[in-house]
Structure 1
Amino acid sequence: MLSAPPENNLLGTDGLPRFGYFASPVTRLNLAQFTYYNVMDRPASALAKYLHYKQFQFVSISHADWQIGVAIADIRYAASAFCYFYQRSTQQLDEISLLKPFSLGVQMSNTPVAGSARINGKQHICLTPKGYNWQLTLQGELLSGNLMLHGGENAQPIALCTPTGYNGWTYTQKHNALALSGELHYRGTALDLSTALAGYDFSAGYMRRETSWRWGSISATLPQGRFGLNLANGVNETGATENCLWLDGRLQLLPPVSIGLNRQQPTQPWQFSSTDQQVCLQFTPQQCRRERLNLGILASNFRQYCGFFSGSILLQNGEKLILDQVPGLAEDHFARW
């Protein structure tokens, strides 16, 4: 049986979060103990402390022929979820989305290593962290099945907490290029998971009232082994970044990157690059899962693209890793919450 991660609290005895990278996942967020102040340095109300907390969980499954994305997000005023299946050969994207006002009937995991996040509707979604593994259960016309994402005994997820805005924080934990077991059906047809790889994202905290990010992600098999990549702009950028790669499960941190795109011409390639040229990648979008919601107080402009990465990344051992049309995801998101 896989051993559980060691006890690791996010908050210190002073009620404030510990910032930086964590060698092992946080096992307790301890939100009740968080000492939350407003921008005038006065204790925030219990209602503000509740409403300002945001959390989302995401699982991606990548295969040479198709891509799956599954997410649950709780922003307190509402909870939303989506589930999609993308066929690369036809560039067709089939999706289901859910929206629950005031997050009624929605449950989220308390930590990235235990508990369950679930939402019900025309597509039932349940994400259950189990230590270094994650379980995904789906039930609906679009996707159904029960999967396990295997982190392994020596799992090395990226786990970090950074200051956000004036008085907030964000904890992010991600792990890509994970092996899969279980079974999964797309509209009643069994999918071959033997060569598929998966990744997860657990992000939570007191984020900016207006938040935006750009992001790139890969879970794929290269000649060098199982390869995972995570690159981001916009959330974790104060003293540390979540930029990293995995090669056969071994984690390597990467430098800050700029992510350039043309929102008015969405089919144009994106550019992912670091100033030292350690990362030099181009992402070519093929299809997009999008959602726009503008309620004044709340707003979301979300675009997640399926496509291909090409370019190079310099590894710690000096080897240059060449990517040639490697399937991956890129995301551009604005949120007012």
Structure 2
Amino acid sequence: MMLPPSPSTLLDADGKPRFGRYAGLVEQFDWSALAAPHARGAIWRLLHHKRWHYVALSTPALFCGVAIVDLGWTTTAFAYAFDRHKGKIVAAFSQNGLPGMGGRVAQHAAGSSRFRFLSNRIVIEAASQQRHRLLLDCGHFAIDAECGPPVSPVLLAFGPVGEGGVVHATQKSGGLPLWGTVRCGAKGYSLDDGVASFDYSNGLLARETAWRWASAHSLDLGFNLQAGYFGAQENALWLDGQLYALGRAHFDFNPDNPLAPWHVWTDDDLLDLHFRAEGARREDKKLWLAASRYIQPIGTFSGWVRSSAGAPKRIVAQLAGVTENHRARW
């Protein structure tokens, strides 16, 4: 099913949410105007409002993931560069900001997110709705990348989360043309002719939140799958410049050995893929108010996808991307 255009705002004039899956960007994520039963007080929103801005950069030689996360009471960030030929992470950065200081995540996906700690700096910036910029300067690790314009619509998924009137929204891109450079110590990598994608998420989430995730993109084919706190609401397929909704996703993998093969599929018979890991980024964090247990294998997907049950299957062969198993207390 192709998706309808995004509404101009997530809430109507009475504060009622326009839940659904759409194609296109929105420029307002204001949860203070939510009407009952979703309305919450300012202190509750401060503790439960979570935002993150994530960018993936992919070439045959390198895969990078960069994220800035706003927990409400503090900001944190991470970045890594994975050399696909060596099968290992060759540069990494992870830092928690000071409460109320150090960074901010944009108010919407077309905005600017920033993180700074001492001399380390990360900027994820939408110079326009057509192009995005990623700048990272963390000592021996540096990225100067630009991507866009998009060749397919951006996903907007907006819906309830579990019980109790909690809501969440996310904007995810398909594959974006990429160019730029990455420096890891004395070694440099070119990003030219690579593919980028971004994930901007903004919502009110429960104290305990868990998910499995998979994402991979070329310029003509890509997908986003999630199973966990957001159900099937953000599952989508990008194919030949069009955006399609996918059904509930299933993840068959070994949590005790996440580098073993994964099998992911959707229950609408539109996607069936096998994932083989080349390596992984993993991190467990324990903060004063929060904790995170996270692993993100990097590798390739092979199998098939299609836009409808009657459409021919499109073969997917070694499409670079990631899976993820994440549990957060925040």
**What TM-score results when the alignment is normalised by the length of structure 2?**
0.88
Whether contact under 8 Å (1:78, 1:103) holds in the other structure is: yes
Name 1:236's counterpart in structure 2: 230
**1:322 offset after TM fit, Å?**
1.7
Q: Which moved more, 1:195-204 or 1:20-29?
A: 20-29
Name 2:79's counterpart in structure 1: 83
Identity %: 29
Distance 2:261 2:299 in 1: 10
Whether contact under 8 Å (2:21, 2:245) holds in the other structure is: no
Give secondary structure in 1 for the equivalent of 2:174: strand
Count of aligned pairs: 321
Name 1:180's counterpart in structure 2: 178
Of 223, 226, 229, which residue of structure 1 is paired with 2:220?
226
Name 1:11's counterpart in structure 2: 11
**1:36 offset after TM fit, Å?**
6.9
Whether contact under 8 Å (2:148, 2:177) holds in the other structure is: yes
Unaligned runs of 5+ in 2: none
Q: In the alignment, residue 34 of structure 2 is paired with which amino acid?
A: F
- CA deviations on 1:15-45 (whole Å, 9 max, x unpaired) are 232211233211111234234768xxxx643
Name 1:293's counterpart in structure 2: 285
Change (3 A) 1:120 1:188: farther
- CA deviations on 1:156-215 (whole Å, 9 max, x unpaired) are 011110111312111110013110244443335442222210000000100122111111
Distance 2:166 2:131 in 1: 28
Distance 1:83 1:295 in 2: 19
Distance 1:97 1:251 in 2: 33
The answer on 1:55 being equivalent to 2:54 is no
Distance 1:44 1:7 in 2: 23
- CA deviations on 1:122-170 (whole Å, 9 max, x unpaired) are 5311111332432211223343343222134x74011110111312111
Q: Which moved more, 1:179-188 or 1:303-312?
A: 179-188
The answer on 1:254 being equivalent to 2:246 is yes
Q: In the alignment, residue 185 of structure 1 is paired with which amino acid?
A: R
Change (3 A) 1:244 1:276: closer
Of 145, 148, 166, which residue of structure 2 is paired with 1:147?
145
The answer on 1:214 being equivalent to 2:212 is yes
Q: In the alignment, residue 333 of structure 1 is paired with which amino acid?
A: H
Alpha-carbon RMSD: 2.4
Name 1:158's counterpart in structure 2: 155
- CA deviations on 1:214-250 (whole Å, 9 max, x unpaired) are 1111123xxxx6322211111332xx52122223432
**What TM-score results when the alignment is normalised by the length of structure 1?**
0.87
Change (3 A) 1:286 1:23: closer
Q: Which moved more, 1:24-33 or 1:184-193?
A: 184-193
Whether contact under 8 Å (2:248, 2:268) holds in the other structure is: no
Give secondary structure in 2 for the equivalent of 1:50: helix
Change (3 A) 1:184 1:91: closer
Distance 2:193 2:99 in 1: 39
Whether contact under 8 Å (1:298, 1:336) holds in the other structure is: yes
**1:112 offset after TM fit, Å?**
1.0
Name 1:271's counterpart in structure 2: 263
